[in-house]
Amino acid sequence: AQKVTQAQTEISVVEKEDVTLDCVYETRDTTYYLFWYKQPPSGELVFLIRRNSFDEQNEISGRYSWNFQKSTSSFNFTITASQVVDSAVYFCALSEWETSGSRLTFGEGTQLTVNP
């Protein structure tokens, strides 16, 4: 069955530190998509990135970067030079067809606190 595990429940760092949020997924499908969302205290989930299972290239967007490794079923998210505004809950999610008809399966989230 599909599953997304975010083992880090809470992470606390000091501003300007780099931080990596881990995401491990389980799926039997060969075609799937992975997502990261950010949920700030205001509540809405903000889409950050989508990656398909055939594209293992790492991606960088400003201070954000993502490392997708199919060999370890991981899709980790790194924030470089963290800022207080990065404080939020971050969710990793999986979309697959064969098993769940493209329903999004979310991990339990990682609460990131960036202290000044």
Spatial separation of the C-alpha atoms in residues 48 and 108, rounded to whole Å = 17
Residue with smaller CB distance to other proteins, 45 or 80: 45
Distance CA 111, CA 87 (A): 8
Which residue in 7, 14, 46, 81 binds other proteins (CB under 8 A)? 46
Q: Are 6 and 108 in contact (CB under 8 A)?
A: yes
Q: What is the DSSP string of 3-61?
A: EEE---SEEEEETT--EEE--EEE-S-SSEEEEEEEE-TT---EEEEEEETT----EEE
Q: What is the nearest approach in angstroms of other proteins to the Cβ of residue 113? A: 17
Which CB sits closer to other proteins, 31 or 83? Answer: 31
Name which position in 12, 52, 69, 83 contacts other proteins (CB under 8 A). Answer: 52
Question: In the bound complex, what is the minimum distance in angstroms from residue 83's beta carbon to other proteins?
Answer: 21
> Which tokens go with 80?
């470089």
**Segment contacting other proteins by CB under 8 A, of 17-25, 54-62, 71-79, 89-97:** 89-97
Residues that bind other proteins (CB under 8 A): 4, 31-33, 35, 37, 42-47, 50, 52, 91, 95-97, 101-109
